[in-house]
């Protein structure tokens, strides 16, 4: 039984982590592409259209990866988490089915038109198809986050005698107080990723002294979008999320902040320290007193419950991973703001394009927004433990009763092998596209 749960969780964690590498770029990049198309419509400068078309090539490869790794996600609810699906399908089935109806269809119907159909339609129509693809991908994020929000903070439900959850208030699914902050935060985080990717491509071209015209354009767009989204990700959206966790999942909050003991006169904010699960304390701690209470409740002396206030079985089961994930995400967020701020400053002073060290830094930062996004999800998902549906359904009660761990291990290994291949292909193809560059060939 124990190892059944372990392999199911590992498989879910592995496949969703891999899947989520792609949608974050899909959502953010579609915004930037629509922006470029819009600039082109307004100014008629060919450069913008070529830049948009170039990003679309990367987008298309990324999108394919997102689709093929996303289909297994949808099915995994039934294959690996059958009991969970049986009990909650009447509720989260709503949001997942709506995602299919209202967003995947929109995206996929217009994507091929957007990518291959420019010659068939006028520029206005082409812009419109691009906009619809963008709308579809953001709507997809909305419905998936509504699903996740319900698992984090269940609303609008009723539990029948046989244990099934049924819906009794449809509107509540979308007015869930968890949803809006999580959605905005997540979307801003995806814009962060795509801005960094665009800026890095720009830095690469400028440093290599090829495609310089486009390199400069990408740098400029990447840095401006990057600074704005990095700021928004931290405040107000990140802050708002943290307040929600403190309010609705206090045990998870204590664990992610690393508060082992309750301080009556106000909680400190931990900057550095390693959770020591044996002695139940943080080793090598550096902390600033009272800040956490202020940030969370705007009151320097408000008491925040520590992990000592909760029963063992109510606490997340992997506290160090939760704590590190949270600190990595927030730490990276702070670094992003700093770097993008510097870059914007030098852009304004017209020095950025010649400032090699900063360009190199921007290029090498590409993996980090991905890491921040993924650790962000780990915060959400590990913090929800030991529950699948917070407070109501334990993770161990949600797995498929008849699927043995041998079978799960087999399919997990299969996914690992297949996804390694996919990852390799993705890198090769994106590398090739970037190498070819946006400049139209002169015949």
Angle between helices 2-43 and 123-152 (to 10 degrees): 150
Which of 7, 48, 63, 419: binder of ligand HEM (CB under 6 A)? 63
The whole-angstrom separation of Cα 249 and Cα 314 is 10
**By the rule CB under 6 A, 385 interacts with ligand HEM:** yes
Mask of contacts with other proteins, 17-56, x by CB under 8 A?
----------------------------------------
Among other proteins, ligand HEM, ligand HDD, none, the one that 83 touches (CB under a kind-dependent 5 to 8 A) is other proteins
DSSP 164-185: -EEES-HHHHHH-TTHHHHHHH
**By the rule CB under 6 A, 438 interacts with ligand HEM:** no
Please answer whether residues 271 and 278 qualify as being in contact, where contact means their C-beta atoms are separated by less than 8 angstroms.
no
At 117 the three-state DSSP class reads coil
Closest CA relative to residue 139, chosen from 177, 105, 188: 105
**By the rule CB under 8 A, 209 interacts with other proteins:** no
Interface with other proteins (CB under 8 A), residue total: 68
Tokens at 241, concatenated: 């999320």
**By the rule CB under 6 A, 140 interacts with ligand HEM:** yes
Q: Classify residue 160 by its DSSP letter.
A: -
The residue among 229 and 408 lying less far from other proteins, judged by its C-beta, is 408
Give Cα 30 distance to the centre of its chain: 15
Interface with ligand HEM (CB under 6 A), residue total: 40
The residue among 62 and 176 lying less far from ligand HEM, judged by its C-beta, is 62
Minimum distance from residue 73 beta carbon to ligand HEM (Å): 3
**By the rule CB under 8 A, 120 interacts with other proteins:** yes
Minimum distance from residue 238 beta carbon to ligand HDD (Å): 3
**By the rule CB under 8 A, 119 interacts with other proteins:** yes
Tokens at 298, concatenated: 């705007």
**By the rule CB under 8 A, 335 interacts with other proteins:** no
Please answer whether residues 252 and 383 qualify as being in contact, where contact means their C-beta atoms are separated by less than 8 angstroms.
yes
Which of 50, 241, 293, 400: binder of other proteins (CB under 8 A)? 400
At 387 the three-state DSSP class reads strand
Mask of contacts with other proteins, 166-205, x by CB under 8 A?
xxx-x-----------------------------------
Q: Cα 341–298–281 angle (5° rounding)? A: 85
């Amino acid at each position: 039984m124990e190892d059944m749960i372990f392999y199911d969780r590992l498989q879910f964690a592995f496949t969703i982590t891999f899947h989520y590498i792609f949608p974050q770029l899909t959502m953010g990049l579609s915004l930037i592409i629509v922006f470029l198309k819009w600039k082109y419509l307004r100014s008629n400068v060919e450069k913008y259209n070529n830049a948009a078309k170039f990003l679309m090539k990367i987008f298309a490869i990324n999108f394919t990866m997102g689709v093929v790794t996303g289909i297994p996600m949808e099915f995994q609810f039934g294959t690996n988490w059958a009991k969970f699906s049986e009990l909650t399908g009447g509720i989260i089935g709503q949001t997942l089915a709506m995602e299919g109806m209202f967003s995947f269809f929109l995206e996929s119907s217009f994507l091929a038109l957007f990518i291959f159909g420019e010659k068939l339609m006028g520029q206005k129509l082409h812009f419109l198809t691009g906009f619809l693809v963008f709308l579809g991908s953001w709507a997809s994020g909305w419905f998936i986050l509504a699903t996740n929000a319900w698992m984090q903070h269940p609303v609008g439900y009723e539990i029948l005698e046989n244990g099934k959850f049924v819906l009794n208030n449809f509107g509540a699914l979308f007015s869930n107080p968890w949803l809006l902050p999580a959605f905005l935060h997540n979307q801003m985080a995806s814009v962060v990723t795509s801005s960094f990717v665009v800026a890095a491509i720009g830095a690469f071209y400028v440093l290599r002294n090829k495609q310089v015209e486009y390199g400069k354009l990408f740098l400029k767009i990447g840095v401006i979008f990057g600074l704005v989204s990095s700021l928004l990700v931290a405040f107000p959206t990140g802050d708002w999320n943290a307040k929600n966790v403190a309010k609705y999942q206090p045990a998870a909050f204590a664990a992610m902040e690393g508060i082992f003991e309750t301080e009556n006169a106000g909680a400190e904010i931990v900057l550095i320290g390693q959770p020591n699960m044996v002695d139940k304390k943080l080793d090598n701690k550096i902390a600033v007193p009272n800040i956490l209470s202020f940030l969370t409740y705007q009151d320097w002396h408000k008491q925040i419950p520590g992990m000592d206030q909760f029963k063992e079985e109510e606490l997340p089961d992997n506290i160090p991973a939760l704590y590190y994930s949270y600190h990595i995400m927030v730490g990276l967020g702070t670094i992003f703001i700093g770097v993008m701020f510097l870059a914007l400053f030098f852009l304004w002073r017209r020095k950025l394009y010649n400032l090699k060290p900063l360009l190199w830094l921007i290029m090498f930062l590409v993996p980090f927004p991905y890491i921040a996004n993924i650790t962000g999800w780990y915060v959400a998902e590990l913090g929800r433990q030991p529950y699948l549906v917070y407070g109501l359904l334990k993770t161990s009660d949600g797995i498929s009763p008849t699927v043995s761990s041998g079978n799960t291990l087999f399919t997990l290994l299969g996914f690992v092998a297949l996804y390694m291949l996919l990852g390799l292909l993705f890198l090769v193809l994106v590398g090739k596209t970037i190498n070819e560059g946006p400049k139209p060939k002169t015949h």
